Amino acid sequence: MDSHPQCRCFITPLIPGFTPPASASGETWLAKQDEQTQRNILGGHYDLYKSGTPLGDMVKIKQDKTWGPTVGVRPLKEMAGAGTSAAKGVVPVVPAVPVLPVIPVPIPATVSDVADQLHQVVNFNDGAPDLSKLSLRVAEEVAEKYKKVIAKYPGMAGKFESLTVEKLSKNIYADCLPISGDNIRVNELFFSDVNKFESKYAKDLLILYHPEGTDYKSVVTHEIGHRVDGVLTFVLQRGIIKNNGTIEHASTEIRKLVLKKLKLTKNDIGSNLSGYAAAKGDREFFAEAFAEYIDSDNPRPIAIEFGKILDEFMKDLK
């Protein structure tokens, strides 16, 4: 888009599954302001505006040697006699670029706004999470992971107990405790200093300890994966009650199905998914495959097959 020094226009990304922030054109916005605000913004052009000259006619685009096409205000003397866009001597300028003010958009301004918005989407059983120990950026990153999963599986809304930020052992990034519906805890030690966390995760990624196509933020996706496993097991009752009374999670069946379909064995999990999944049991396999399936732009066959089976299971979740 054409721009100019001190331009206050911005580009808003459109993310599949998310409604873009409400916004209005500069012209619509200005029309709703009171006279004093309009005068402050338009200065000497106010009378022309009031007599019906469109804002687009007050815009001039000139070629600047440094900046290229540059948007500016057409001086009043060039607009003499103007009253409407059809007035004599006024050449309508195309395109009509709104040069006007910063448009207010509802961007969450504080960590607590992020937590409230997240709660609206997830509907935690314990109410809005307390994310106050996180920076705004990290709180948003954590929230995005939840929103991504709920956009894909809307039935997961209302299925999360709580999300907490706590000082946990140095050996874990986060966890998902199977107490009354799985409480996800992220470790303050890592999530409050993501630069260190990010490089630590990236180093482990190089030795294939984490799933390909993920980064530190995928730790959240991994934990959500545990909760999805919990929902499959206890809500959709896809778990199996063993002879000794223990319940086998749905992840056991799903891991078997994935390996069988791809003709792989447990020994192949390290090179095809992650070292962590290879070292641990079915539940970690599930969470690791979930993280790659949800977060990787280019999931590998094991994550793709996992995703197909998971989507089939999740169809029953209302």
CA distance 312 to 309: 5
CB of 222 to Zn ion, least distance (A): 6
- Cβ-based nearer residue to Zn ion, 122 or 287: 287
Question: Given the complex with Zn ion, which of 232 and 287 has the nearer CB atom?
Answer: 287
What is residue 183's three-state secondary structure?
strand
Asked if 231 is part of the footprint of Zn ion (rule: CB under 5 A), the reply reads no
Q: Which residues sit opposite 248 in a β-bridge?
A: 240
Q: Is 278 in the site for Zn ion (CB under 5 A)?
A: no
282 — phi, psi (to 5°)? -60, -40
Closer Cβ to Zn ion, 50 or 266, answer by number: 266
Based on the shown chain and the rule CB under 5 A, indicate whether residue 184 belongs to the binding site for Zn ion: no
- Specify the amino acid at residue 6: Q
Closest approach of Zn ion to the CB of residue 97, in Å: 51
Question: Is the CB of 60 or the CB of 280 nearer to Zn ion?
Answer: 280
Total residue length of the chain: 318
**Under the criterion CB under 5 A, does residue 289 sit at the interface with Zn ion?**
no
219 touching Zn ion, by CB under 5 A: no
- CA nearest neighbour of 71 among 155, 149, 1: 1
Structure tokens at 258: 């994935």
Per rule CB under 5 A, count of chain residues that contact Zn ion? 2
Six-digit token string for 81: 């006699």
Is 287 near Zn ion (CB under 5 A)?
yes
Q: Is 142 in the site for Zn ion (CB under 5 A)?
A: no
Part of the chain binding Zn ion (CB under 5 A), chosen from 27-35, 243-251, 255-263, 276-284: 276-284
Residue nearest to Zn ion (CB): 287
> Which residues in 26-64 are b (16+ Cβ under 10 Å) and which e?
beebbeeeeeeebbebbeebeebbeeebebbbbbbbeee
Choose between 205 and 287: whose C-beta lies nearer to Zn ion. Answer: 287
Which parts of this chain interact with Zn ion (CB under 5 A)? 284, 287
